Amino acid sequence: MYQQAILVGRLGKDPEVKHTSGGKSVATFSVATDSGYGEKKTTEWHNVVCWEKTADAVGQYLSKGSLVFIVGRIQTRSWDKDGETKYRTEVVAEKVQFLDKKGGQNDGGAAGRPAPQPAARPKPVQADNSDWEDVPF
């Protein structure tokens, strides 16, 4: 069964873009979503990974505090480290749409650092999520 995730939230830190040994771009970042209000407000953090053109666009245009709309699938992967099995659940983004105002200030960005201001707002990018085995981390 295909699991789909839809998130609207803000980046918790700048995206980290790496390249696989095969030259494919992969970006990882966390997104905070809120629910409730007042004293009942809670924040949930989601690990997000995206590939190829999506990863390149995310690395170029997004930073801490950027507001995004993400559509993707939920994936849990595991690996062994020091004889212990580790697990990570993440959203593999198939679509990332930038929601901040064009050329506007980024409310949640780092203090004293202006939001990125691209000349033209990029269109949402579709991901190619193949070659997961080739991830360098």
pLDDT at 9 over 80: yes
Q: Which architecture, in CATH terms, is 4-134?
A: Beta Barrel (2.40)
Q: For the chain, which residues make up each domain, given as ranges?
A: 4-134
In DSSP terms, which residues pair with 81 in a beta bridge? 84
Percent of the chain with pLDDT over 90: 66
End-to-end CA distance of the chain: 27
The pLDDT of 85-104, averaged and rounded, is: 87
Cα angle 118, 73, 45 (rounded to 5 degrees) comes to 70
Answer for the pair 17, 55: CB distance below 8 angstroms, yes or no: yes
The per-residue pLDDT for 107 is 44
The per-residue pLDDT for 102 is 65
Give the strand pairing for 25-35 and 4-11: antiparallel
The pLDDT of 54-58, averaged and rounded, is: 95
The per-residue pLDDT for 100 is 86
pLDDT at 119 over 50: no
Which of 66, 51, 73, 44 has the alpha carbon at shortest distance from 135?
51
Per-residue pLDDT tens over the stretch 65-83: 999 999 999 999 999 999 9
